[in-house]
Amino acid sequence: MDVTIKAHERVDDLQYKGLRLIQNPEGFCFGIDAVLLANYAKASAGDTVIDLCTGSGVIPILMSGKTSAEKLIGVEIVKDAAERASRSVELNDLAGKVEILNEDIRKLPDVFPKGSIDVITCNPPYMIESHGIHNEADDMTIARHEVMCTLEDVVCTAASLLKTGGYFYMIHRPFRLTEIMVTLNKYKLEPKRMRLVYPYVDKEPSMVLIEAKRDAKSRITVEKPLIVYDAPGEYTYDLLRFYGGGE
């Protein structure tokens, strides 16, 4: 398929089933957190999946190859990022399976019927608005800081859209874990699985993967830690399997 690649853009190989992604090196580019979430999330045949704060669209594009989901919808508020993600969908010939929607996630309950979605994923902004240094580039600020949506906005939207028994998957920072659990509980999304991600075996965790279920009973499984590196630049065996979807 003939897809326009702009002069300032590059095409990255996602190293999975030939999938590729158009990115702007001068803007916000996806990181390992998106790859981890795309592998952690589960979707069954016939499922509709919505990825909130989709950015480059990497999560729905990867999940199109890693799951049996029937439809995957990435939602992104930044117009340029959404347009670029749409071209990545075309580049991978996924127009019949993956869709990118340029919309504010807080407006999604007016777009989709309440309780109509099977699975929701999100790699949200990690930092509260006043925490950390803001980058001058708008898309990078929006991706990193809660200037356009908060953790509560994400969870509230997910709870509104999910079917009873539907699943919500998120990756976030451990320093906000108490707030995450309280917010999930507030909106009746019961945490069912959690996995901490450590950069090295002797360091503190830098990320946390969470699975929550709509209107479920209280019981959580804390999975074994995921260690990213054995040494600088050398991924662990578990991480390499995670990248490859366990294949």
Confidence band of 246 (pLDDT split at 50, 70, 90): very low
CATH topology of domain 10-243: Rossmann fold (3.40.50)
Summarize pLDDT for 49-69 with one digit per residue, the tens: 999 999 999 999 999 999 999
Choice between 91 and 3, residue whose per-residue pLDDT is larger: 91
Q: What are the structure tokens assigned to 149, written together?
A: 């949506």
Closest to 108 in 3D by CA, of 77, 147, 71, 72 = 77
Contact (CB, 8 A) for 212 and 22: no
Q: Where are the domains of the chain?
A: 10-243
Is residue 172 scored above 90 in pLDDT? yes
Choice between 130 and 23, residue whose per-residue pLDDT is larger: 23
Max CA distance (Å), the chain: 52
Summarize pLDDT for 196-217 with one digit per residue, the tens: 999 999 999 999 999 999 999 9
pLDDT computed for residue 231 by the predictor: 95
Question: In sequence order, what are the residues at sequence separation of 6 or more whose Cβ sits closer than 8 angstroms to the Cβ of residue 237?
Answer: none
Mean pLDDT, residues 138-150 taken together? 61
Quickly tell me which residue has 């997910």 as its tokens: 158
Q: What are the structure tokens assigned to 100, written together?
A: 């990118």
Using CA atoms, how far apart are residues 15 and 33, in angstroms rounded to an integer? Answer: 16
Q: What is the pTM of this model?
A: 0.92
pLDDT computed for residue 149 by the predictor: 85
Identify the DSSP state of 199.
S
